[in-house]
A and B are shown apart, each in its own frame.
Chain A
Amino acid sequence: EAQLLDSGGGLVLPGGSLRLSCGASGFTFSSYSMSWVRQAPGKGLEWVSGISGSGGRTYYADFVKGRFTISRDNSKNTVSLQMDTLRGEDTAVYYCAKGNDGFDVWGQGTMVIVSS
């Protein structure tokens, strides 16, 4: 059974940094794109960033370009999101999600709170 396990969330000051990680199991990791999706409190789902199976192509929503960096290690079946220059509006639950065409597996989510 395919599974994703998100980790790394926490409380961070505005302007600070945080690194999220997602461990995958139960599927051929390198064959699939992976993404990060977030959900602010009481709001809907919002795609943040994606990376191709090989890691050679990365994609970002406009609101995180230049601040967030996605990466993956196919030898360890992990995908990460380095978040820099964090803002209050980045406060959300962050989910990793598997899929090239439709997110068919989701992590359990990790909470990021940006506050002074």
Chain B
Amino acid sequence: QPVLTQSSSASASLGSSVRLTCTLSSGHSFYVIAWHQQQPGKAPRYLMKIENSGTYKRGSGVPDRFSGSSSGADRYLTISNLQSEDEADYYCETWDSVLWVFGGGTKLTVL
């Protein structure tokens, strides 16, 4: 089954950009993944889906400050013009025919 690896934390300044990485395990580099944002005390929120090609599709209402890309087994979430409300945990997710898998999550701090 696929395994997703994320850095535990990241930080960036207000108004800057940050790129978060989600790495797929060996043999699963072609998988599609989804990114979710979880603000403190809230339910997760779907952000986007990213294909192996780098094509991504944002969810309804997700600002265009959020973008996705891909390189090999890595799937990226880039947040531009960071806002204070972007401080949150970010999780990647993937799936196969019989299960769904989450990465461990990245805690983003906006300085």
Contact = CB atoms under 8 A, between A and B. Distances in A.
Interface of A: 35, 37, 44-47, 50, 59, 61, 95, 97, 101-109
B44 A95 contact: yes
A101 B49 contact: yes
A61 B99 contact: yes
Contacts of A95: 43-44
Interface of B: 32-34, 36, 38, 43-46, 49, 59, 89, 91, 93, 95, 98-105
Contacts of B45: 106
A106 B47 CA distance: 12
A104 B103 CA distance: 16
B102 A106 contact: no
Nearest to B44: A106
B43 A103 contact: no
Contacts, number: 58
Given A101-B95, A103-B34, 7 more contacts: A44-B91, A45-B91, A46-B102, A61-B99, A103-B46, A104-B34, A104-B46
Nearest 10 A/B pairs, CB to CB = A102-B34, A47-B100, A45-B102, A44-B105, A104-B46, A102-B49, A106-B43, A106-B44, A59-B98, A108-B43
A102 B93 contact: yes
A106 B60 CA distance: 13
B43 A44 contact: no
Nearest to B45: A106
A98 to B, nearest CB: 9
Nearest to B8: A44
